[in-house]
Chain A
Amino acid sequence: MSRQNKVIVDEAEGYVTAKLAGHWFALPISAVHEVFLLTRITTVPQSPPGIIGVLNLRGRLVTAVDTRQILGFSPAANELTMAIGIERQNELFGLAVDQMGDVLRSSSAEREPAPMNLDRRWREIVTGVQRSDGHLVLIVAVDRLFDNVVTLASA
């Protein structure tokens, strides 16, 4: 259903970067509500895969999303600590990440399209790749990421 929404990519100048399972990802700043610590998570019995649980962020209910599972990584060895808050249909989701990075400035000229040989699941999510500080940053289309959350949750 979120296909109808415009895919948020180029309009944003700045990107929030975060590290997950050894990869750097970037999300447009305009899509990010806030960044917060994942604490006091309530796990919900029988919740679908990809959902860690729910927590209270200053009186708001946040669904903590297991980004590793969504992207097909193995579960984290250590406790998840940080989350990127994304608002979707008046609900707040927290995408769990291993580590937060700097804000990345980017223009379309600096970006390359996602390589053809990328995993199909990733190719749907990653809209471009950019080199920064000697490592590759994968630029993520938030709406497409949420399509995955929805498919996982409804599976």
Chain B
Amino acid sequence: MDGMDDLLAEFITDTYESLEQVDIRLVELENEADGTAMVNELFRMMHTIKGTCGFLGLPRMAGLAHAAESLMDRMRNGEPVTHEAIDAMLRVADRLKQILAAIEANSGQEPEGSDEAIISALNEAGSDVPAAPPAEAEADAGAAADESPMAAVAEPTGDGGASELAATAMTPKSPPKAPPANDASTKPAAKAEQEKAEGGDQGGDRSIRVSVETLEHLMTVVSELVLTRNELTEVMRHEERTNHKLALQRLSTVTGELQQAVMSTRMQPIGNAWRKLPRIVRDVSSNLGKQIELEMSGANTELDRQVLESIKDPLVHMVRNAADHGLEMPLERIAAGKPEKGKITLNAYHEGGQILVEIADDGRGLDVDKIRAKAVERGITTAEEAERMSAEHVFSFIFEPGFSTAATVTSVSGRGVGMDVVQSNVERIGGSIDVRSNKGQGSVFTLKIPLTLAILRALIVGVDDEDFAIPQTSVDELLKVEPGGPHSIQLIKEAPVLRSRDRLLPVVDLKSVLQLPSSLDEMGVPRNADENTRGFVMVMRARGLRFGMLVDTVARTEEIVVKPMPAALRGLEIFSGSTILGDGRVIMIVDPNGVRSAASNPSEAAVQAVNKQAEEIEAAEDKQLLLMFRANTKNRKALPISLITRLEEISLADAEQSNGQWHIQYNNELIPLVWFGNPPDPSEGERKPLLVMSDAGRSMGLLVDEIIDIVEDSVEVQIPSEEVGILGSAIINGAAAEIIDVSYFLGLASAHWFEPHMNRKLAASMDQILLVDDSVFFRNLVAPVVRSAGFDPVVCESGVEALDKLEAGMVPSVIVTDVDMPEMDGFAFAKAVRRIERLNHVPILALTGLIDEDAIQRARAAGFSDYISKLDRNGLLQSLRDFTRPRSEEIAA
């Protein structure tokens, strides 16, 4: 009896495997001009299943396999391969899998049920279509005639499959009506290799089947051996006897080899996880009427069984998404000038001890604006923040639970369940996902996954006399921090940051994240890392974000054997596992993703923003005069002097309030007052500094607490702020300061004061101003000013980018460009623009920090219309008005 059970179990495993193959071969068959080899193989597979089923007494399965075998036989003899035949065969494969599952569940009993619908579909498939050689056609007709009564009998029985039967019985009769809508072809690039490998299997006893448990056990034992070896090495380190040392060295080598060998038994080609994909793509294309080509390469890339298991479902999900959401309908594709047939490409390869899997489609790509809007709508972010975010950050929202921008939910996907699960599955095994996408050109999802879960190279770090392991793959850089050293921690609003290579890096203190006792002082108040902190900062990346993690000491790197977290501690997201060190101690492995989510400060937006800035910013060389002052909070705030018309000192008692807006008499007119934080209290009667700013004939006053200094420095906004009125933080004269967002205050003042004026401006057709400046600060500063003056600024970071836009057909009203820029300077840019005939009438204004006679001569020669100091904003606005007015009037006339 037991022998029989074993036999059955083996049969079930075997048959599942061959049915997977059947799926693949069928889909291939449909797309192959000459499918003889595949038909032969399918015939063989079905024949084997039929034979074994007969032997094991499984009549239902045997019947199905027999009918399928007969169809394959007819095809072998020249009957054409039709879509219906493939459909019917796929249904057989599905039904066989169902029955197998039931047999497994029912301890060897075949479930009750009828398969006549499928069988008659098989028998009818292709029989309508006359085959090319007449002799065979006759034979076919005979066969069809023989079998048709069976179908006729089946129909009236009215079993569960009757409607199914009716449906399939209809289809073969109208083959011309079915256009090749679902022309899903698959071209596994590694097909040949795969077949070779299988050929090898059939060849002889080159491989044997070993149960997974045995392999797992082997792995555990080897892990223990590695640990014992490490422990022994530790003990012997102080031992002088050389004969012991030699033996230990041998043991060490052999252990290493054994470990490698055992690891290799756990390795499987990633192609095993791809097997289902051709079938899935075919089903999707069939359901949705899309044409999809699936290309796969790198199927032989090997990775750990366990890892493979964990990425199987995510892969299926992502490919399905690509087919459903990513690729457009054929008509849409044609309209977009793309080939009718969409393409999904899978590629796997090794890189730096990791495996990269790319899932690319050439579909419509991710719609940044749509995702942004959706994120705002769902309250994940604010509209303001979303506007500032990089596309990359916006894309990361698709991994939020329940996030879907699909307008309609299809049977395939779009319910907004999935990408979050995909991400958590991938992260659970220490991997990550990146998205790149260009609207209209498609998307690429890149999975980075570890080769194996069992062994990890890790940095052993110390915090408060406790050791932790940090996976080395997630550490980019290690910096020593000490007061007065090249790197030291600074505080921005109590948040520790580190300046590294002219970038600000948010610092997360591992001590506080782990809530170790020393993270609190005697009063129980959290102790923040500050300028005097000594230790090491590890620059890490998690979910595409860069941050620094502060630890006390870094001991060494070590190959560690990863053990799962004990069940009782599995809820701690900050650890991904544990390990036993050479000295026998147990330590925890820190999960960078967990640290990132556990660190509430700095906020995600700040971390993200730093990254964006870090990638964009090159240190701006332009130095400028900055007014340093304090207002509302203790932090130093900075504002370019060029924006300030005058400094005044006023008494609040002189201020007047109407309609919730404060005003003060200035130069015989009432100007609106704005301030940071809470409204001023006029009863205090104290005198406060007032920064008067003027813009296009309107003025406003910004109340501050204290003027500190005027300094000259370059400004580089590093951490955009979430606080209104603050553009972000920058390092000025060696310390952090907040840069004021003037446009916010202008808006605040004009909201009450200038509203009618603004509306009139906006109502007129806006003149487009092309703004070219390599300095992020000036782009941030000039663009809002230009916008608030009623123009529509289009911002470019370089002359090259601007030329691209112009060559693509843009005709701005005025071009404003910085003169000193890397690569292509303002003169070269102006000359290039002047070569475009269509833009001859467009004035080009040069912005520069330095005006002298020589420069003006050169500017004229290059084709500039005017030359304006960078700091002269009124001059710029006046110039813009002058250059746009005549044209508007021409048009009006």
Contacts and interface: CB of A to CB of B under 8 A. Distances in A.
Q: Check if A and B associate.
A: yes
B587 interface: yes
Contact of B568 (A40, A45, A56, A149): A149
A51 B571 CA distance: 13
A44 B227 contact: no
B572 A56 contact: no
Given A47-B569, A91-B567, A153-B571, A56 B515 contact: no
A127 interface: no
Contact of B515 (A43, A45, A55, A63): A45
A56 B584 contact: yes
Interface residues of B, number: 23
B228 interface: yes
Nearest to A152: B568
Given A54-B578, A56-B584, A44 B571 contact: no
Given A45-B514, A47-B569, A55 B228 contact: no
B585 interface: yes
Given A40-B585, A61-B563, A61-B580, A48 B574 contact: no
A154 interface: yes
B281 to A, nearest CB: 39
A69 to B, nearest CB: 13
Interface string B440-484: 000000000000000000000000001000000000000000000
- Residue of B466, B568, B586 with most chain A CB atoms under a 10 A cut-off: B568
Contacts of B578: 54, 61
B379 interface: no
A46 B227 contact: no
A93 B567 CA distance: 10
A56 to B, nearest CB: 5
B224 interface: yes
A60 to B, nearest CB: 8
B814 to A, nearest CB: 59
Contacts of B571: 48, 153-154
B697 interface: no
A63 B566 contact: yes
Contacts of B586: 40, 42, 54-56, 61
A91 B571 CA distance: 16
Contact of B574 (A46, A59, A93, A154): A46
Contacts of A50: 568
Contacts of B567: 63, 89, 91
Contacts, number: 65
B516 interface: yes
A48 to B, nearest CB: 7
Given A45-B516, A46-B574, A51 B228 contact: no
Interface string A32-76: 000000001011111110110011100101010100000000000
- Residue of A45, A50, A65, A153 with most chain B CB atoms under a 10 A cut-off: A45
B575 interface: yes
A91 B515 CA distance: 27
A153 B569 CA distance: 8
Contacts of B588: 42, 44-45
A45 B572 CA distance: 9
Q: What class of interface size applies to chain A in its complex with B?
A: 20 to 34
A63 B569 contact: yes
Interface in B578-620: 578, 580, 584-588
B579 to A, nearest CB: 9
B585 A47 contact: no
A44 B572 contact: yes
B491 to A, nearest CB: 24
- Residue of B224, B516, B575, B584 with most chain A CB atoms under a 10 A cut-off: B584
Interface string B485-519: 00000000000000000000000000000111000
A91 B580 contact: no
Contacts of B584: 40, 56
Contacts of A45: 466, 514-516, 574, 588
Contacts of A89: 567
- Residue of A42, A43, A91, A93 with most chain B CB atoms under a 10 A cut-off: A42
A65 B568 CA distance: 10
Nearest to B598: A46
Nearest to A42: B586
Contacts of B587: 42
B572 A46 contact: yes
Nearest to A153: B568
Given A46-B572, A63-B568, 11 more contacts: A42-B585, A46-B514, A46-B515, A47-B568, A51-B568, A54-B566, A59-B228, A63-B569, A91-B566, A150-B568, A154-B571
Interface of A: 40, 42-48, 50-51, 54-56, 59, 61, 63, 65, 89, 91, 93, 149-150, 153-154
22 contacts: A40-B586, A42-B585, A42-B586, A42-B588, A44-B572, A45-B514, A45-B516, A45-B574, A45-B588, A46-B514, A47-B568, A47-B569, A54-B566, A54-B569, A59-B224, A59-B228, A89-B567, A91-B566, A91-B567, A93-B568, A153-B571, A154-B571
